Amino acid sequence: MKAEFIVEIKKSLESKKAKLEVELKGFAARDPHASTNFNTNFPDYGTKEDENAAEVAQFSDNLSLEKTLEHTLEDVIKALERISKNTYGKCKYCGEEIDERRLKARPESSACVKCKEGYLHKA
């Protein structure tokens, strides 16, 4: 894997990480003990019954969004760690290099298409 390619990927991972954190901070508070753990704030629209119902609905939407964003954030951070350990771009299952087009589209990928598909078929 070329050094310029890694530099480019690192930039895109870092901007992705920053964007995810901004998005998460929009509705959740970061756990001071774990940088990738956020806790969704309970919204406060008012005390009327419909307002309470809206709060609960919004909270549950935010919770699932929180899970999705946190999961991506963890993947992004792991990818950055692989870059610093010089193991970036290798499939975690078969050890082959992951296709650069795949890495460009989804820089946090840790498995090649073949293994990912094989995994999905088994699951």
Would you tell me which residues interact with Zn ion (CB under 5 A)?
91, 93-94, 112, 115
* Gyration radius of the chain's alpha carbons: 18
Helix H segments across the chain? 3-25, 49-84, 100-105, 113-122
Output the smallest distance, CB 4 to Zn ion, in A.
24
Nearer to Zn ion, 7 or 94 (CB): 94
Shortest separation between residue 88's beta carbon and Zn ion, angstroms: 14
**Strands 38-40 and 28-30: what pairing?**
antiparallel
Instruction: Indicate the residue among 73 and 112 with the shorter CB distance to Zn ion.
Output: 112
